[in-house]
Structure 1
Amino acid sequence: MQATTLSYDNLHNHGELFANMFRARHRTFIQNNRWDLPEANGMEFDQYDTPASRWVCVHRDGEVMAGVRLTPTTHRCGIYTYMIRDAQRGLLETIPRDLLNFEAPIDPNIWESSRVFVSNDVPAAERLRVQMQLIHEMVVSARTLGATTLLGIIPEHSPRLARRVGLDCVPSGPVMDAGGTRSVCVTISMATKLH
């Protein structure tokens, strides 16, 4: 099992991994969760998959087991910025505007974590190890990018997992129904040390 952080600058070094990550997102979010999202050629994507983002993938032999997208809160592409801020601004129909207890920040040291998933194909006995690998690589990548804080939407009970691995993860909004899943906005400090 490996973890790789992809960017538009290094895609050429990783063969099909980038496309496989979008295919894994398609299976997770469109096929399994039945979310109505943009898709093409069996890949899920949205307006936040731009050159400003990074994609952390946990993979083995080209098969993507888990992933997460990191986007700077300072990014803008047309009318869009990042998912949490755009939901708060009323630009997204499927995410409530009151998802965050404060105004969504625009700060070079704060990045958004979105499209977090672990493939349904990952056996139950391996899921925790895959999740921990994903969290570890996400933190390493975020710190490398200069993030001191991540802002994300995660399943309601995920902050407990984060605390188990030493991540400072604090709910920052109400529990909400996001695509049939009970989720919550969280802030994650990059200052803590992982176990």
Structure 2
Amino acid sequence: MQVTTLSFQNIHTHGSLFTDLLRARHRTFIEQAQWDLPQADGMEFDQYDTPASRWVAVHEYGRILAGVRLTPTTHRCGIYSYMIRDAQKGLLDTIPTNLLNEEAPVAAHIWESSRVFVCDDVPAKIRMRVQMQLIAEMVRAGREVGATSVLGLIPATSPRLARRVGLDCVAAGPVLDIGGSASVCVNISMATKMH
């Protein structure tokens, strides 16, 4: 099992890994979750997949097992900044505006995690290992870009998993029904030591 953090600086050195990640996101979010998201050629993408972002991929033998996107909260592209802030500002129809208890932050040391997934066909016996690899690399990649915390919109059950592996994960908003699943915004400290 390998874990790779992709950026526009290194994407060319990893063959089809980036497009494979976007295809896995298509399967997860469009085919299985039935979310109405932008797509082309069997790949899911949106306005937040820009050169400012990073993508973590857990993969094995050319197959994507899990992934997450990291985006700086300081980034802007046209009218968009990052998904949670744009939802709060009412720019996104599919995410409620009341997803955070406070105003969405804009700071160089805070990044957003989004499009977090583990493929549904990952066997139960390695699922926890895959999740651990994904979380560990997200923390490493976040720290590498200077993040001291990550703001994410995740399944409502995920904070328990995060705490089990040693992440300091605190709810930053109410549990909401988003796309048919219970989700919550969380702040994750990058200073926490993981088990």
State the TM-score bracket (shorter-chain normalisation): over 0.9
Name the CA distance, whole Å, in 2 between partners of 1:85 and 1:2: 32
Question: 1:184 — aligned with what?
Answer: 184
Question: 2:165 — aligned with what?
Answer: 165
2:65 partner SS:
strand
2:138 partner SS:
helix
Name the CA distance, whole Å, in 2 between partners of 1:58 and 1:113: 15
**Which structure 2 residues correspond to residues 128-167 of structure 1 after superposition, within 5 A?**
128-167=128-167
Q: CA deviation at 1:125?
A: 1.3
Question: 1:2 — aligned with what?
Answer: 2
**Which structure 2 residues correspond to residues 6-21 of structure 1 after superposition, within 5 A?**
6-21=6-21
Question: 2:99 — aligned with what?
Answer: 99
Q: CA deviation at 1:61?
A: 1.2
Question: 1:48 — aligned with what?
Answer: 48
Matching residue's letter, 2:138: M
CA deviations over 1:119-164 (Å, ceiling 9, x no partner): 0110111111100000000000000010001000010010010001
Name the CA distance, whole Å, in 2 between partners of 1:12 and 1:150: 26
RMSD: 0.4
Question: 1:75 — aligned with what?
Answer: 75
Name the CA distance, whole Å, in 1 between partners of 2:18 and 2:62: 10
Q: CA deviation at 1:24?
A: 0.2
Q: TM-score, with normalisation over the residues of structure 2? A: 0.99
Name the CA distance, whole Å, in 1 between partners of 2:50 and 2:179: 23
Q: Do structure 1's residue 57 and structure 2's residue 61 form an aligned pair? A: no
2:111 partner SS:
strand
CA deviations over 1:53-102 (Å, ceiling 9, x no partner): 00000000111100000000000000000000000000000100000000
Question: 1:24 — aligned with what?
Answer: 24
Name the CA distance, whole Å, in 1 between partners of 2:62 and 2:177: 33
Question: 2:34 — aligned with what?
Answer: 34
- 4+ residue segments displaced more than 4 Å: none
The answer for unaligned runs of 5 or more in structure 2 is none
CA deviations over 1:19-63 (Å, ceiling 9, x no partner): 000000000000000000000000000000000000000000111
Name the CA distance, whole Å, in 1 between partners of 2:162 and 2:68: 15
Q: TM-score, with normalisation over the residues of structure 1? A: 0.99
2:56 partner SS:
strand
Matching residue's letter, 2:34: R
Q: Percent sequence identity over matched residues?
A: 71
Name the CA distance, whole Å, in 1 between partners of 2:78 and 2:23: 26
